[in-house]
Amino acid sequence: MYHEPPSHIIDTFSLLKSIPSIGSKSPRLILYTKDPLADTTELQRLTNATKVIQLPNVGREGHTYLHHIISSWDDLATQTFFLQASVHNPRQFSARVENYYTSETGMLSLGFSGQSCECNSCGDRFGWQDHSGIVEKTWKEVFNQTCGEQRVLLSYKGQFVASAARLRANDKKLYERLMMALEDPDSWAHQQDYLQGRPDSLNAPYFGYTLERMWSMILQCSEERIAALCPTLISGTRRGGSKSDCQCFDFRKISEAAF
């Protein structure tokens, strides 16, 4: 969070706890603030967070998520909801969690779906384009193979559920390199060869848009079937669909559960 009201965090956490499959697990709230003037003690009191951690205002939510993964590497929760202080499309967000989240969820994006691109020339209809090759490079690091024209599933809005198993399936150094790209002013992600005149700063890095889109791929859930089968957030579910339509499971046995 930065300047968002604590009530946004309280409301989102209360919503998640009200879902039986989540509330029964006694979830913990770990709150990060990038407001240099934040009173962390008061924030913890207001939100009843397990802990409140203050970070420098760099890298937006992607940097925060990477920091959490790296710093909690040996103590990651079985599943983590990575969310910003104010979730996007809260009504649809709630329905997506209720309709699709399970104890076997390995990676479930909680933003809108249906977008994919060719790995070696990745772009989308919103004007974003990867000219640096970082998508292709990251694919190779995650899957240990080149991707060529393989389709990459894109994720949006920086809100998703990930399991510790998926997070740790990658080398920790991958996350460290991505975080360095965001926070180091001398990294390739802040140079004009990459930026090509696009606006960029440490607290609003252009690379953040790329990282936002790569989370499904990073978490080994870059399956074209999800782009084809996952309903829109407004639709919610589809007739004859199953919980596997929008996500990757750590255990495939649940993939046949239908609506």
Going along the chain, which residue ranges are E strands? 30-33, 51-54, 79-82, 105-109, 116-118, 151-153, 160-163, 247-249
User: What confidence tier does 254 reach under pLDDT thresholds 50, 70, 90?
Assistant: very low
pLDDT surpassing 90 at residue 253: no
Q: Which of 253, 250, 213, 257 is nearest to 115 (CA)?
A: 213
pLDDT at residue 91, as a whole number = 82
Among 66-75, 200-209, 239-248, the minimum mean pLDDT is found in 239-248
Burial class (CB in 10 A: 0-12, 13-18, 19+), 236: middle
Task: Mark out the alpha helices in 184-249 (DSSP H runs).
Answer: 192-195, 207-218, 224-229
Instruction: Write the pLDDT tens digit of every residue in 173-222.
Output: 999 999 999 999 999 999 999 999 999 999 999 999 999 999 999 999 99
Length in residues, the chain: 259
pTM score, two decimals?
0.93
User: What confidence tier does 60 reach under pLDDT thresholds 50, 70, 90?
Assistant: very high
pLDDT surpassing 90 at residue 117: yes
- Judge whether 45 and 6 are in contact, CB under 8 Å: no
- Judge whether 31 and 47 are in contact, CB under 8 Å: yes
Percent of the chain with pLDDT over 70: 96
User: What confidence tier does 258 reach under pLDDT thresholds 50, 70, 90?
Assistant: low
pLDDT surpassing 60 at residue 257: no
